[in-house]
Amino acid sequence: MSATYLDAILAVHREAAAADTRNRDELLGACEAMALPRDFGAALRAPGLSVIAEVKRRSPSKGDLAANLDPAEVATDYETGGAACLSVLTDEDHFGGSPADLQAARSAVSLPVLRKDFTVSVNDVLDARLMGADAVLLIVAALTDDELDEFATVAASVSLTALFEIHDEAELERALAADARVIGVNQRDLVTFEVDQDRAVRMAPQIPTDRVRVAESGVRGPDDARVLYRAGYDAVLVGESVVTAAGRSEAVAALRAVAD
């Protein structure tokens, strides 16, 4: 299989993980000493369509989106618009994010926050907790079955919600085998980086109804959100269309309104 954009990013993260000599037990102890996180999964089970609004400075495909954004200001705008949760990019090399962005955004609001990054080690999971995240992203395509099981177990042990990101039926099967409770369907193809607007609709009937279902990528506005809500999704994760909106609060509110 040809190398994908994901392969290149993962190589950087796996190299960093291999060089990480920190003591895992010490990290785990520090996590256990923290106050309980906010309940990311519960926030998405609220009636209507929940919006996970993303604090995103740039992307590999589009370049700069809002390179000079103030994370606290953006987070506050999202909360005012009715967002259920935040997603904050912490990858610096490819997305211009940082743990400091997550901390500033979370401190400004009362919403649960997903650390949006490329989780490739147990220490990555623990780092998510230590920087203040309430949920951690597990990209099924990037991980082995053993890694999925281990990372999900570690996340649960420190009270983090795991968002399992899938793209197709085979990845859904692997996520369910790891007892995924929150499942996100990413509509962006990992080989071409193009968005398939119908992917999430096709996948929706195959995700058990007792799981939280999240549609990711390609939500350009209320029309897309309405289709996904009618397909059975509990939430949409939206980045570009809300972070670049002239009125971010209004953009989030318009997505929420499709369920009225």
Is 62 known to be catalytic? no
Sign, CA dihedral 140-161-229-219, equals negative
Question: Could you state, in order of their start, the residue ranges of all structural domains in the chain?
Answer: 5-259
Is 165 known to be catalytic? yes
CB 226 within 8 Å of CB 246: no
Is 123 known to be catalytic? no
Find the catalytic residue in 50, 87, 186, 241. Answer: 186
Find the catalytic residue in 50, 216, 240, 241. Answer: 216
> C-alpha distances in angstroms, 87 versus 105, 115, 123, 180, 216?
9, 6, 20, 19, 11
CB 79 within 8 Å of CB 48: no
Find the catalytic residue in 79, 87, 116, 121. Answer: 116
DSSP H or E stretch at residue 143: none
Is 116 known to be catalytic? yes
**pLDDT tens track of the chain, all 260 residues?**
345 777 888 899 999 999 999 999 999 999 999 999 999 999 999 999 999 999 999 987 788 898 899 999 999 999 999 999 999 999 998 899 999 999 999 999 999 999 999 999 999 999 999 999 999 999 999 999 999 999 999 999 999 999 999 999 999 999 999 999 999 999 987 767 788 889 999 999 999 999 999 999 889 999 999 999 999 999 999 999 999 999 999 999 999 999 98
Find the catalytic residue in 87, 121, 165, 249. Answer: 165
Determine the Cα–Cα distance for residues 55 and 75; give it in Å rounded to an integer: 7
pTM of the model: 0.94
Is 56 known to be catalytic? yes
CATH architecture under which domain 5-259 falls: Alpha-Beta Barrel (3.20)
Find the catalytic residue in 217, 240, 241, 249. Answer: 217
Is 216 known to be catalytic? yes
Find the catalytic residue in 50, 54, 79, 123. Answer: 54
Is 23 known to be catalytic? no
